[in-house]
Amino acid sequence: MKDDAINIYDIAKMANVSIATVSRVMNGSDKVTEKTKKKVMDVIEKVGYTPNVYAQGLVSKTMHTVGVMVPTISDPYMATAVAYLERELMKYGFECILGCSGYDQEGKQKKTEMLLAKQIDCLIYVGSTFAGNGKDTAATDYIREAAKRVPVFIINGNVNGENIYVSVCEDEAAVFDVTNALISRGRKEILFLTDSHSYSANKKRKGFEKAMKAAGYNAKKGIIYVENNLYSVCDQLILMENITCDAVVASNDVIAVGAVKYAAKKGIKIPEEMEIVGYNNSVLAISSTPEITSIDNHTAEICKNTVERIMDLLNGESGGLEKKVSVTCTLVPRKTTMQEWPYLGDI
């Protein structure tokens, strides 16, 4: 029968091994022989011992807990990333503590302190909003301060500093190639719809501007800032009575759905009269009617890679750890673009 008073020290004494050996067995270390592992596990099973994560942490110097920060869990991209991160962390026996900061500076700083107070082993920021606009370094000083206490990983944003590791998508190149492809088949009045001035949004906008300018078009005229809400996007475009467009490149799939709704209300044929490309290749892209062509920024791959790098770092294997990982995006063609789309693989 299980005895709640049993602890790791008792297990070590019963198995006639060191406390460190018990910790290695519970953490799945390969530095313990099968014979010793069996002896320790036999004792654990006999007494019905369930390790307390805090007591375990005192011995192994790790709480097996990672903080994950997002601006909001209501965003499809953020929710998907958190789900992938939690799944990957669980494979290594780690728990995650979620913090939702909002988009203002004070909220980001307060939630960072809240997570650090939980004795986490590592902190992951998800979303380019945490990287600021890429220019104002003062806006990201709180991240560098956090990195003095625990390793910091950033998904979809770039911040420079010691003990900071980032993963970014090649957003600029992806939007440039998509816009260029639309231009190459006669689209002249292309809109770029975005909702922010974040690091990632700025990269996407820059790709759009480069492609439009290279073709001799007025890039600024096509950039429209909208609310990240599919109904608001539709209403805002309808209110812009003088707007004309034959293609839309959206900075995320929520905005792309809003563009689809706009076309439906205006009686614009998709894709014959207007092509639409979204971003993130989320469930929204396939939930829409028609299904939306979207740029896949490989969220699952980035999250898996991030967790693997975290484990390497926590296991002391930081020698060859990359500070920055860049991921090439892939276009997933669907019904909102013409069938003869030239980019069927990496863009």
Alpha-carbon distance values, 223 to 31, 186, 189, 195, 322 (Å): 57, 19, 11, 10, 35
- Of 176, 154, 174, 179, nearest to 164 by C-alpha is 154
Q: In this structure, is residue 308 part of a structural domain?
A: yes
Give dist(CA 51, CA 60) in Å, integer: 12
pLDDT of residue 135: 63
> Same domain, yes or no, for 203 and 283?
yes
| Whether residues 182 and 159 fall in one domain | no
Residues 84, 192 within the same domain: no
**What is the pLDDT at residue 137?**
80
pLDDT at 54: 47
Residues in the chain: 347
What are 152's two structure tokens? 């910091």
Q: Confirm whether 307 is domain-assigned.
A: yes
Q: For residue 40, what is the domain's CATH number?
A: 1.10.260.40
Pairing between β-strand 223-225 and β-strand 190-194 as defined by DSSP bridges: parallel
CA distance 301 to 124: 15
Q: 81 with 137, same domain?
A: yes
Assigned domain for 346 exists: no
What does the pLDDT read at residue 58? 44
Residue 273 shares a structural domain with residue 308: no
pLDDT in tens, 96-152: 999 999 999 999 999 999 999 998 999 999 999 998 765 668 899 999 999 999 999
- Residue 37 domain-assigned (yes or no): yes
In this prediction, residue 276 carries a pLDDT of 98
Q: What is the pLDDT of residue 306?
A: 96
Q: Which residues does 337 contact at the CB level (< 8 Å), separation at least 6?
A: 271, 275, 276, 277, 293
Are 34 and 116 part of one and the same domain?
Answer: no
CATH of the domain at 264: 3.40.50.2300
For residues 214 and 249, membership in a common domain is answered with: yes
Tell whether 338 is covered by a domain: no
Orientation angle between helical segments 230-239 and 253-266, nearest 10 degrees: 50
* 165 within a domain of the structure (yes/no): yes
295 three-class SS: strand
191 and 291 share a domain? yes
- Alpha carbon 321 to its chain's center: 19
The chain-wide mean pLDDT, for the chain, equals 89
For residue 318, the model assigns a pLDDT of 66
Cα separation of 148 and 344, whole Å? 43
Model confidence pLDDT, tens digit, residues 231-252: 999 999 999 988 889 999 999 9
Tell me whether residue 337 is in a domain.
Answer: no
Tokens (6 digits) for 163: 């003990």
pLDDT of residue 1: 45
Residue 5 is predicted with a pLDDT of 62
Residues 215 and 240 in one domain: yes
Name the pTM for this structure: 0.79
Q: Is 148 inside any structural domain?
A: yes
Total domains, the chain: 3
- 152 and 262 housed in the same domain: no
Q: What distance in Å separates the CA atoms of residue 8 and residue 5, rounded to the nearest whole number? A: 10
- CB–CB of 194/225 below 8 Å? yes
Amino acid at 183: I
Rounded to whole angstroms, the Cα distance separating 291 from 337 reads 10
* Domain span holding position 215: 171-296
Domain co-membership, 290 together with 197: yes
Residues 103 and 147 in one domain: yes
Give the chain's residues under pLDDT 50. 1-2, 54-55, 58-60, 344-345
